[in-house]
Structure 1
Amino acid sequence: MAILAYNEAKINTRKRNVAGYILFATSTLMLMVVDLATSGGGGIGPFIGICAIVAAFGVEDAHSFFAGLAASGALTSALRLITKAAFDKSKDGPRKGVMLFLGISTFLEFLCVLLYAYLFPKLPIVKYYRSKAASEGSKTVSADLAAAGIQTLANQELKHLRGLLSSLIVRAKQASAKLKSGFLLAADAAKPPGRLSSKQLIFQNIDYAVDLYLIYVLTLSIFPGFVFENTGKHKLGNKWYPLVLIAMYNVLDLISRYIPRVPCLKLESRNGLLLAVLSRFLLIPAFYFTAKYGDQGWMIFLVSFLGLTNGYLTVCVLTIAQEGPEANALGNLLVLFLLGGIFSGVALDWLWLIGKNKAFWSAKPACN
């Protein structure tokens, strides 16, 4: 991801996105292959294989279309609840439910590959923004524009320069001074707009990068690991309760990503965003004490609030930070920090086991 973010101006956007879709869809399919090959038997080999496959899934979120991806999270939770309910009381029900879920997901992901490759480039709004990016100096959208039947900016400039040079050659017989001036004008017209380097972009937007990093450090240190391990006693049981909590998180995450569309509710202050991000760390003791002393109602409220603040702050940061010709480059760099936050949050997730009576280092094997 660091290499892709640093070299984003040189990488073909269409090839990168199609390759990412195919990798994600293939990885989901491989999860089913591993399970079928081992007949659901498990073991250290299949476990390592699943970990390697999951590593290819990559980041959950990217750029300012977060609302759509949050919707996919809510739909995923709904699909998981449906597949679990369908096989809840049947023999080997959990495995069958997961296999059905993965099968449907794989089909939808391969469908997305086809839609992105053939339908998406022809949408009017997509054509508009890709043409705008090309006019601002982006060289990575030429393949996308070609797929939509739009001539790239480079070809347009080439034709423009040819006509301009032909006109200048004719006028050269009249005045050499005008010829020289015309060549200078042609060079200025052909020069693409200046863009800041990746280092300059990071230094100018370091607070936004830190905001995204801290948002996902906190979120992933709590969700979903803590939801499955430390939710306390409840009436829904160990099988359904975590799924309900995850569904509540995803639904509130989805809703919150539309809140910034209301101008009076959008947080635009850089200091205000940083303060809001730091204040979310108060959720750590809140979750800890709720798991020990609170009931399931308070836990559902906290998980919902976690999703609400995660989606809202993420969209505020990304939509405010990404402006001007460098929007795409800055977006890629911010997503790199987001990935760093996800990695750090997942790495810190095991700290919730400290203080438990049956931590992983003292737990006995299930077979005993």
Structure 2
Amino acid sequence: MVAIAFLLCCIVFSNLQHKLPVMQQYQQSLLQDHTLCSKTKFCAVARKIKGPAFGIFIIYIVTLSIFPGFIAEDLQSEVLKDWYPIILITVYNLADLMGKSLTAFYVPQCIKRAICAATARLLFYPLFIVCLHGPNWLKTEVPMIVLTFLLGFTNGYLTSVLMILAPKSVPYSESELSAIVMTAFLGFGLVGGSVLGWFWIL
């Protein structure tokens, strides 16, 4: 019942949004600048932002190949028992929210550093492997909770940073199309990470 009410509200508000002053101004700017997204090639813009697009792609490849499949299925705790995967999933989601919220206070100006940080997340693979097959003191709950927190935090923060900086790295006339390109690569990352999650073998 709540979902139906929420869906109806979304339909009503989406039909009323064109009356907002900001939407009217945006529509006027589209009419004045007829070149926006009409003469700009998708592939040309994709080439311009290939770095951020790769970054957003690799972020979700890494994240979804580890979380939630590996965390929910392959880990056991004698202390936390069945609560262990629930706690890890909660930690991940809270960390992801914190990372996304942090961009309200600080966004780095160098997009190359954000891309390097996104690529550096590949280090989560050996780190999780060490926590699973390494010394006994690394197989405890604390290292895994810390790693899960870092996985979620970097996922949220770097996603927001790249989504903010990518449209700013191209001319205004291409910014909307660049956001579409970024969303497409985010989707590719979601699909690729989900597929790789089925083949997580440690």
TM-score range, shorter chain: 0.7 to 0.9
| 1:117 aligned partner | 15
Per-residue deviation, residues 166-217 of structure 1 (Å, max 9, x unmatched): xxxxxxxxxxxxxxxxxxxxxxxxxxxx842112101111111111111110
Higher mean alpha-carbon deviation, 307-316 vs 224-233, is at: 224-233
- Alpha-carbon distance between aligned partners in 2 of 1:250 and 1:124, rounded to the nearest angstrom: 35
Amino acid at match of 2:93: N
Instruction: Considering Cα pairs closer than 8 Å and 6+ residues apart, tell me whether 1 or 2 has the greater RCO.
Output: 2
| 1:329 aligned partner | 177
TM-score w.r.t. length of structure 2: 0.82
Amino acid at match of 2:130: F
TM-score w.r.t. length of structure 1: 0.48
Alpha-carbon distance change, 112 to 291 in structure 1, aligned in 2, over 3 angstroms: farther
Contact 1:133 1:325 in 2 (8 A): no
Amino acid at match of 1:325: S
**Unmatched segments (≥5 aa) in structure 2:** none
Number of residue pairs matched by the alignment: 195
- Alpha-carbon distance between aligned partners in 2 of 1:236 and 1:105, rounded to the nearest angstrom: 33
Contact 2:59 2:118 in 1 (8 A): yes
Amino acid at match of 1:266: V
Alpha-carbon distance change, 310 to 228 in structure 1, aligned in 2, over 3 angstroms: same
Matched, 1:301 2:146: yes
| 1:241 aligned partner | 84
Q: CA deviation at 1:329?
A: 1.5
What is the percent sequence identity of the aligned residues? 27
Matched, 1:232 2:129: no
Alpha-carbon distance change, 117 to 245 in structure 1, aligned in 2, over 3 angstroms: farther
Amino acid at match of 1:315: S
- Alpha-carbon distance between aligned partners in 1 of 2:21 and 2:81, rounded to the nearest angstrom: 49
CA RMSD of aligned residues (A): 2.5
- Alpha-carbon distance between aligned partners in 2 of 1:283 and 1:106, rounded to the nearest angstrom: 40
- Alpha-carbon distance between aligned partners in 2 of 1:134 and 1:235, rounded to the nearest angstrom: 63
- Alpha-carbon distance between aligned partners in 1 of 2:30 and 2:79, rounded to the nearest angstrom: 53
Contact 2:77 2:84 in 1 (8 A): no
Contact 1:231 1:299 in 2 (8 A): no
